[in-house]
Amino acid sequence: MSAVEDVVVSLPSSLSHLGKSTRARAVGDPALPAIVALGGISANRFVADGPGGGWWTGLGRVADPAHYRVVGLDFAADESGRAAPTSEEQARVLCAALDALGIERAEAVIAASYGGMVALALARHFPERLRRLVAISAPATPHPASTAARELQRRVVALALESSRGAEGLAIARGLAMLTYRTREEFGLRFEGGIGEADPLAVSEPGRYLRARGEAYQNVMSPGRFLSLSAAIDRHRVDPSRITIPVLVIGATSDIIVPAAQTEALAAALPDARLHILDCLYGHDMFLKEADKIGALAAAFLEEP
């Protein structure tokens, strides 16, 4: 059985607005090279094990504790929802997590969505902490349309909190987000459109799915935490021209949140980059739904001399 180390990570005093601590987890022999895996704002430290077997085990070899020491992180956030960290601040939290686990330098960080933004900030400001980076569906700056969508989601949650209906607001915001994570083509294949009743609030087939996803989201997210981390995405800014380590950049043609043009622009601005734009039905959620393809590309990248 793989060695497991689950640690409390004390936050630097300068980040006290994000609380006192968070948690990180490493699975695998400490003698193995370390790989950090980060996902979207609802991802957690259970990458390679834990409830459901780990949320990103589909990556294959690069998330296999038999080959690497796989590190996951619970992102730091202001649980009250009043403050959002920058991606550089979250990268400092990751550095504190690596220190707590006794990892001086990770072999690679494989990171998608918000995690990819944090990883880009890590590579920019703390390049000594990683050798290579795989950045998936993560831009140098947020797309204006994506910022607008997230702002509407945050307004829904804030209004719901004022009405003491935070859980319902969070569920609606999650449903709105799912419409941007996935594609119209996928919804067209899975569901029938329209409603069959006169009641304006009748539940449609896709609406039933989004309600279920919104209710399930409350198992991993609170309204305040959502406000903090959603806004953290929109505080992200990194100058890719100042990232000197090798970077594998991966995007999807169908991604609405981070359009392929943004992914291509990121790769073009990086001094040492490889680029893959994948055709995919699942849009921004490609990194979860087609993790095997991501894992194969990452494994080949790590094997480069």
Catalytic residues: 113, 255, 284
> Taking a C-beta distance cutoff of 8 angstroms, is the pair 37, 2 a contact?
no
Q: Output phi, psi for 87, to 5 deg.
A: -65, -30
Sequence-separated contacts (24+) of 100-103 with Cβ below 8 Å: 100/7, 100/8, 100/9, 100/10, 100/24, 101/5, 101/7, 101/24, 101/26, 101/34, 101/71, 102/30, 103/26, 103/34, 103/69, 103/71
Classify residue 272 as exposed, middle or buried by CB count within 10 Å of its CB (0-12, 13-18, 19+). Answer: exposed
**The dihedral formed by the CA atoms of 91, 94, 95 and 100, expressed in degrees to the nearest 10:** 170
223 with 160: CB under 8 angstroms?
A: yes
Q: Is the dihedral of CA 130, 134, 138, 141 positive or negative?
A: positive
The CA-atom distances, in angstroms, between 29 and each of 1, 21, 68, 101, 163 are: 10, 25, 8, 12, 49
At 158, the amino acid letter reads: A
| Nearest Cα residue to 293 out of 273, 278, 303, 304 | 278
Euclidean distance between CA atoms 262 and 160, whole angstroms: 33
Tell me how far apart the alpha carbons of residues 128 and 252 are, in angstroms, rounded to a whole number: 29
Cβ pair 136, 113 in contact under 8 A? yes
